[in-house]
Amino acid sequence: MNRVNQECVETLRYLSKEEAVSMETELLRDYRFGREQLAELLGHACAVAITKIFPLSSLEKRQPTLLVLCGPGQNGCVGLVCARYLRVFEYNPTVFCHERSREGLHQDLTVQCEKMDLPFLSYLPTEVQLVNDAYNLVVDAVLGPETEPETEALTSALQAMRGVKIPIVSLDIPSGWESDDSNTDQINPALLISLITPKRCAQSFSGPHFLAGRFLPYDIQKKYQLNLPKFAGTDCVVEL
């Protein structure tokens, strides 16, 4: 690693939950980005990151099956787009949404997946061995940094993830972790994909870690002193 890269890594900032929320508000309100636009570009980038660490050729099971767990909020929207692109990249994703979201974007993204013939599970098997046997990995798009009420369905998804032995890929933060702290009795993903910027809890994550989303205006990068690493070529993700 040369000095320039080292300097970037040293000074890369991990945002607190408060900072992440305020940056997102600015992006939506002042920079006029749309939620639909952000879900699309982030979900696409997450799928690309997954192909880098878990290429089709590396999967152990005969079929390239993945289980994508989607929460009812923004994290779940990114998960739905990610599932759609994983299908385009020739994986076989199955989706589980805890409950039908009443949010329009979530519903639209669900229809897009259904129309791509992605199977949806109506409930999660309580026996985690069934998940271990059926899928190569689990994509965790259940909870993001925003606080969401923990419903029974969410609890069951978190419990399932604590029990599975196949690798977990977490989008933005590992579900159940506090955004500002690590929490090691929770799930332990094999791959973490931070969305837009890494959050504080990611500092204690030691596995492969990607940043998804290459669109941040320079002014906002400067304002939050992000010191993002350089993306190569036209890549939409970068390994941190």
Task: Give least dist CB 218 to its own copies, A.
Answer: 7
CB closer to its own copies out of 160 and 236:
236
Task: Give least dist CB 219 to its own copies, A.
Answer: 7
Task: Give least dist CB 33 to its own copies, A.
Answer: 6
CB closer to its own copies out of 44 and 200:
44
Interface positions with its own copies (CB under 8 A)? 30-34, 36-37, 39-41, 44, 47-48, 51, 84-85, 88-89, 105, 107-109, 111-112, 115-117, 214-215, 217-219, 233-234, 236
CB closer to its own copies out of 39 and 154:
39
CB closer to its own copies out of 104 and 207:
104
Strand 209-212 to 191-195 pairing: parallel
Task: Give least dist CB 46 to its own copies, A.
Answer: 12
CB closer to its own copies out of 105 and 190:
105
Task: Give least dist CB 71 to its own copies, A.
Answer: 20
Q: What is the phi-psi region of residue 225: left when phi exceeds 0, alpha when psi lies from -120 to 50, beta otherwise?
A: left
